[in-house]
Chain A
Amino acid sequence: MYDFKGFTLDWYKELFQDTRLLIIVLNTIVVALLAALISTMIGVLGALAIHMARKRNTKNALLSLNNVLIVSPDVIIGASFLILFTMAGIKLGFYSVLLSHIAFCIPIVVLMVLPKLSEMSPSLIDAARDLGASGWDVFSKVIIPYISPGIFAGFFMALTYSFDDFAVTFFVTGNGFSTLSVEIYSLARRGISLHINALSALLFLFTMLLVVVYYFISKRNKPNGMGVGK
């Protein structure tokens, strides 16, 4: 990088020949997707539970517990998970990384969904009940559609958190499983090769593409009305 001589695509070629690195990239993406997916499901249920807690004290206690993972430093979370997994006899690798990512993504989802829930008028549920909706109907046809913007926001927040997490992942990777951030960090001793730059460029284009696709999907869906959908 010291002196710029011209343009080349060599580094892209080298990147695609490096199967190990490609596996790591795919690992990172899969972990992020699955962690976001599962933590969104758990997080939504958690937010509902907090929202429906009758006593004020229970609500506050649950919320504070939820915030523990957000306020505690990543390094502490990572080290604790390492100790937990090794004590429980869980082999470090894909599942240890996935479990820890799910764990630190859930509070984020909860925090994204809660405001939507408290914004929802309770009379909506009462009205649905009045018209004969069962518990499941209320959940799937009233609550979920209403809070869906919060769910999507939570999902994407969780996705990005998981995607770029370094500190926690660093502790719980092992046995041949690694993610991108950890791998790039361990290249630091010998200087980072330019094919990492090529990879970053591709990942950037990929995320841009996702954003564009997401934009068109949400634009197409708009006429369906806001709030209660089909």
Chain B
Amino acid sequence: MSRIFRFFIAIALVSGVLLYAISSLNSEQGYSGENTLTIYNWGDYIDADLINRFEKETGMKVIYETFDSNEAMMTKIKQGGTHYDIAIPSEYMIDKMRKEKLLVQLDHSKLPNLKYIDKRFMDLPFDPKNHFSVPYFWGTVGITYNPKMLNGKEIDSWSDLWDPELKNQILLVDGAREVIGMGLNSLGYSLNDTDKGHLLEAKNKLDSLTPNVKAIVGDEIRLLLENQEAAVGLVWSGVASEIMAENEDLEYVVPKEGSNLWFDNMVIPKTAKNVDGAHQFINYMLDPKIAAQNTEYVSYSTPNKAALQYLPKEMVEDERFYPSSELTEKLEVYENLGKENLAYYNELFLQFKMHRK
């Protein structure tokens, strides 16, 4: 008995010491106390230095929490029990949260820096007049390829993917809208097309791509492309910029037929306790210099027009990540097509996946 007893006491003591260490670390960081701001963001999606500066400037303490998918984030916010002041979901989720009344309407008078945001990225269908959200980063869907593995061949359009030379070389992301969208774009239709005839046509076109498709994968597409397991991949621009930083041979291109334009926007969830502080934070992040520093860290494309002048030239002039206005006109934001149409997209995508070879 005494042995077990001593052992348990030792464990309890160790836990006590650790708890004390945590609480002292926490108070050293200022995580306790009233004047806090809780941010719920994707992992490693902000320059931590900026948070420190915000804390110094406002005296507020920032608690930074991370999520891994829009769905997980929405569940946490909808279920309650948390009080996030800021969240950064993607555009389709904002539409959904807006309709489920999970968001606080923004007070634009408290966001003077909103004027720096490029007009192209404001007032989009997922949030008309930006009542609920402010753009944080944006990007495109495009093709990453490895010219070295293709003997210097260049790709600049969706139709290039149907080249028989690319046999068993293409990786696709496992997303119905992305893949069916590729089929629609290559035929010159809109990404938000709901005409069943057009969709079927796109699906048939995709079926003829199957000899070239090596696999349809999730997040592991990053590693597969980086390690040159396949020469071509359908990816988001954010993923592309990260893997290009790891493997310099890779290239990224937004196909000339047009593609998808996506956003991650800052919103204030209904559960927020510090709505005023949240406005201050959004306004702070919209400051051109701050936005520029954040962009350099995250390396996604910033919607902040005034921030571009503070960024290195080769970054801003990189047409792969800041496409020309001519091309951006062809880019489309996914619209919420309603349950029925989405189900049809998923159905077609499933058929396409089963059709493989």
Chain A residues in the interface with B (C-beta under 8 A): 1-2, 19-20, 22-23, 26-27, 29-30, 33-34, 36-37, 40-41, 82-83, 85-86, 90-92, 96, 140-141, 144-145, 148, 151-152, 170, 174-176, 178, 183, 185-191, 193, 221, 229-230
Contact = CB atoms under 8 A, between A and B. Distances in A.
B146 to A, nearest CB: 12
Interface string B220-236: 00100011000000000
Nearest to B22: A26
B231 to A, nearest CB: 16
Contact of B1 (A22, A27, A40, A141): A141
Interface of B: 1-4, 7-8, 11-12, 14-15, 18-19, 21-22, 25-26, 28-29, 31, 38, 42-45, 48, 63-68, 72, 75-76, 79-83, 219, 222, 226-227, 238, 242, 246-247, 298
Contact of A186 (B1, B42, B238, B247): B42
B43 A186 contact: yes
A148 B226 contact: no
A27 B22 contact: yes
Contacts of B1: 140-141, 144-145, 229
27 contacts: A2-B247, A20-B48, A23-B22, A26-B21, A29-B18, A30-B15, A33-B15, A37-B8, A37-B11, A82-B75, A85-B81, A92-B82, A144-B1, A174-B76, A174-B81, A174-B82, A175-B63, A176-B38, A186-B67, A187-B43, A188-B43, A189-B42, A189-B45, A189-B219, A190-B42, A190-B242, A230-B3
B227 to A, nearest CB: 7
- The 6 residue pairs across chains A and B that have the minimum distance between CB atoms: A187-B43, A186-B66, A176-B63, A186-B43, A174-B82, A86-B81
A230 B2 contact: yes
Contact of A30 (B22, B28, B38): B22
Given A23-B22, A148-B3, A188 B12 contact: no
B25 A176 contact: no
B148 to A, nearest CB: 14
Nearest to B226: A2
User: Which of B21, B44, B219 has the most A CB atoms < 10 Å from its CB?
Assistant: B44
A20 B48 CA distance: 10
A85 B21 CA distance: 27
Nearest to A91: B81
User: Which of A37, A82, A141, A186 has the most B CB atoms < 10 Å from its CB?
Assistant: A186
A90 B22 contact: no
